[in-house]
Structure 1
């Protein structure tokens, strides 16, 4: 496949040829693609919000529904994949995607719940070190969670919350500005908690550099990978943050509101002095069902589990993670760079000065999402896309987010999307 941007061509023939040469193209047929009222496939570029359904997901959900119907409670130990062990089936492929050791990863709860659990353990304010640093345009649930934790600990968010902001007339956060903030306030900051990638701009923040900077000043460091997991190279073990949390219904295609995931670095694996909220599923398996023993946590991330896992929610992600493992995340990431680069090329080739791409140009500083700002546009532009059979999403005041997911989107999808954009802009 042609890799250099200089070889991209603005033609349907080129897009079709790129698809013909794409080693991951066949994975598209293993997803259910949404269709219009005439049964024609819609062009779906909204994996940054909700990933498509793997066809195998239905089989795995029905398998567990059958287990429930036929053997009921015995499914905990006698199902093909015993329910007591089901989450373990997901651990290795999930760890491979986020670049962690299996002992550092667990699939559990939902995203905001996991964030609160991690902050119970890693946001331990003192009279001198009580502040939390987040990016100014964090996803709202992150802001809500952080502010509520600050209040719960008895502090005033107006004093305890520090925001990493883009400069005036800019959209992206600069690392040197983060350095300046931490150099000034580092001894007061208990936790650096960053969303990565940013939901609005698609900017990928440097996990290793942020972690090292925070640790240099004695801060704990965590990341929300809701828009990063399955989309960027997180390399969590090597990059070394204390924790990370994520959902699985975006790029990991596990269904609306599906179960989340959590990473706890192995340096914390055996630290029983870390405060945590506890539940029986975090207790070691060999004595969990003895009931009348003191809490004895599993080593690693599994020790933060609370309740027995929701099997019907885990079944769809099993289907998706199998596809990720089969494709290989390095291959997925390689296609992501190529197809997003092609989208960027086509948008710029429109040569329309009303258009700006907020997302960084450097492929290493983004995933597959591009945030397209259109001057003087309103939601009618997004509605025009929907009417033209292109599913993407709108963010106020004037941004369309487009995310060509490597496992099921094609280069032809990207080409057709930009053709619709050209037509819509011509009408304005």
Structure 2
């Protein structure tokens, strides 16, 4: 038995996955063949698989709707016999399950809205340009929604986005940012920065930013720091309260497996959620953030709930919330986020090792001088396990010539992987992201993915 085979067996023996708790697509269900064998799903960084128990969780709420209609808000038919939650408080059971995942006090998080709507709402509350401090620092290659939100938040303050945006980008000849460069940019611009808004994990490269160090450094200059944690929550351990993060938001349909377009969440540090009579942080508000005991008195007086719950606006979708809740139960079953992270590091390290052992791999440094006709790939995700989550991003060569519409090889590789039953995630023009998820992926899944990648290259060489 080879050392790689021993490593694969050791990982799968010591870290059994919970794939039996998820619905895994098959060759047949994907329309690839009549084979009913399960495929290898390495795309949980884009959309997590459906927990098996989610179907029942949703059906229970449909039954409640059909049996009691509006009365299920206060008298759920399963509240006494099955421990079901009345719809008025449907989001509250998620909070103590989610707070250990994000490292918060229960009072600092709320289940609400969608990622970008929450980002906009939080920026309304936290982006308050004053005097010379008007600028926002974020990264140049951020997810487009973040750019659109930041650009227009500046416009809403009657400021010029082009003059009030500072963007970070990697040095020439590198694929990701250096922490020191981020700190240097903060120090050089601290007199003008009103807000820093960065992703916890960069969606394209998979870089895991040093949230604690960056936040602590910015606090020296009294700069508000917010984080888009779409790719970080459920992926890596977080300690938002201890790190003194001001605010954060995330989606739940990736690593939290809540379903497509699933409900989002927010973090508001307790220092910003305090209520002193009528003195509170202004925010976009609604009746679900108001004093719950007076919610149906329809008073023209806003009395926000203390903490993050006071930032809620509307009653949440019951179906979305119970979908999230059903997945959070599996996190508890798995032993929590740190145990999952331990397995995740081993899986991602194994993926990296196997990828680098192929003849098609080229180092990131050498990729900048690569002969344009060579069939190769590099990994643009940081090598250090501390600087990445469960994702490796593969950049393929020859690159796509976007200007003349000449295709690169990524599309062909991606198609071949899919036909072999390996589902990753394409990011045009030339990147495929592979993410072994510790909840339901195994070391054998990782090996299958690399074997399929090699076969895809071999097909191109014929």
Same-fold call, TM cutoff 0.5: yes
Return the match for 2:425 from 370, 387, 393: 393
Question: Is contact 2:273–2:281 with CA below 8 Å preserved after alignment?
Answer: no
Measure how far apart 1:424 and its partner are: 1.3
Measure how far apart 1:16 and its partner are: 4.2
Report whether the alignment pairs 1:96 with 2:100. Answer: yes
Report whether the alignment pairs 1:171 with 2:175. Answer: yes
Structure 1 unaligned segments of length 5 or more: list them: 1-6
Report whether the alignment pairs 1:203 with 2:207. Answer: yes
Deviations 1:362-395 (A, max 9, x none): 1111110011122213311111111111100111
1:320-335 equivalences in 2 (<5 Å):
320-327=327-334, 328-335=336-343
Question: Is contact 1:187–1:218 with CA below 8 Å preserved after alignment?
Answer: no
Equivalent residue, structure 2, for 1:20? 13
Deviations 1:269-325 (A, max 9, x none): 215442201100001212112112511111100000001111011111111000012
Q: Give the Cα separation in 2 of the matches to 1:400 and 1:300.
A: 40
Question: Is contact 1:197–1:203 with CA below 8 Å preserved after alignment?
Answer: yes
Question: Is contact 1:280–1:307 with CA below 8 Å preserved after alignment?
Answer: yes
**Mean Cα deviation higher: 35-44 or 65-74:** 35-44
Measure how far apart 1:184 and its partner are: 1.6
Q: Secondary structure at the match of 2:142?
A: coil
1:118-137 equivalences in 2 (<5 Å):
118-137=122-141
Q: Give the Cα separation in 2 of the matches to 1:310 and 1:44.
A: 28
Question: Is contact 1:95–1:101 with CA below 8 Å preserved after alignment?
Answer: yes
Equivalent residue, structure 1, for 2:395? 373
Question: Is contact 1:252–1:320 with CA below 8 Å preserved after alignment?
Answer: yes
Structure 2 unaligned segments of length 5 or more: list them: 29-34, 80-84, 363-375, 399-408
Report whether the alignment pairs 1:358 with 2:352. Answer: no
Question: Is contact 1:46–1:391 with CA below 8 Å preserved after alignment?
Answer: yes
1:34-183 equivalences in 2 (<5 Å):
34-37=25-28, 38-79=35-76, 80=79, 81-183=85-187
Return the match for 1:217 from 214, 218, 221: 221
Q: Secondary structure at the match of 2:298?
A: coil
Q: Give the Cα separation in 1 of the matches to 2:23 and 2:193.
A: 46
Flag the 1:93–1:8 CA change in 2: closer, same or farther, 3 A.
farther
Q: How many residues align?
A: 419
Give 1 or 2: higher helix fraction.
Answer: 1
RMSD value, Cα: 1.5
Measure how far apart 1:8 and its partner are: 8.8
Report whether the alignment pairs 1:337 with 2:345. Answer: yes
Q: Which protein shows a greater Rg?
A: 2
Equivalent residue, structure 2, for 1:407? 439
Equivalent residue, structure 2, for 1:316? 323
Question: Is contact 2:273–2:280 with CA below 8 Å preserved after alignment?
Answer: no
Which segments of structure 1 move beyond 3 Å, counting only runs of 4 or more? 7-11
